[in-house]
Amino acid sequence: MFNNTAKYSQMIKAEALRLGFMACGISKADFLEQEAPRLENWLNNNHHGEMAYMANHFDKRLDPRLLVEGSKSVVSLTLNYFTPQLQTDSSAPKISKYAYGADYHTVIKEKLQELMYFINENIGEVGGRCFVDS
């Protein structure tokens, strides 16, 4: 099993890079014991600002097994969403660069779904879910 695990990890990471992700990590799906007090303090100190949704589903944010029953692994990815385009009209309202292009949630979700398809086709049905910003 270890050989398959290492082989599958390499396959997933290689495909993630091919899809344009900058980094790919794979970890055990488990309760995030060390992160629990940090998240609780962060929320209690209102560091989430106006993002009230961050206080929702506290338990699910700390245990991926509650999001996908039977989860064994979590694949975490990074993607640079830098937009080189500059705002040229100095009289126009200022807009954050991340808002110039297509909604990054959509862009990343499509790439995640491609990766999930690759996993299901090349490794086997895994019954996973794709999340952006979770």
Interval 22-32: pLDDT, tens: 999 999 999 99
If asked whether residues 43 and 100 sit together in one domain, one would say no
Region class of 103: left (phi > 0), else alpha (psi between -120 and 50), else beta = beta
Q: Residue 27 half-sphere exposure, CB side, CA atoms within 13 Å?
A: 11
Cα torsion angle, 71, 35, 12, 112, sign: positive
If asked whether residues 118 and 99 sit together in one domain, one would say yes
Could you tell me the pLDDT band of residue 2, with boundaries at 50, 70 and 90? Answer: low
Look up the pTM and report it. Answer: 0.83
If asked whether residues 42 and 92 sit together in one domain, one would say no
User: Which residues constitute the domain of residue 63?
Assistant: 30-67
133 among known catalytic residues: yes
If asked whether residues 82 and 123 sit together in one domain, one would say yes
Could you tell me the pLDDT band of residue 102, with boundaries at 50, 70 and 90? Answer: confident
If asked whether residues 42 and 107 sit together in one domain, one would say no
- Centre a 10 Å sphere on the Cβ of residue 107 and count the other Cβ atoms it contains: 15
If asked whether residues 19 and 51 sit together in one domain, one would say no
| Distance from the Cα of residue 66 to its chain's centroid | 16
If asked whether residues 81 and 130 sit together in one domain, one would say yes
* Catalytic entry in 30, 59, 103, 133: 133
Alpha-helical segments (H) within 19-84: 35-44, 58-62
Rounded Cα distance, 110 and 20, in Å: 12
Count up the domains in the chain and report the number: 2
Residue 77: exposure state from Cβ atoms within 10 A (0-12, 13-18, ≥19): buried
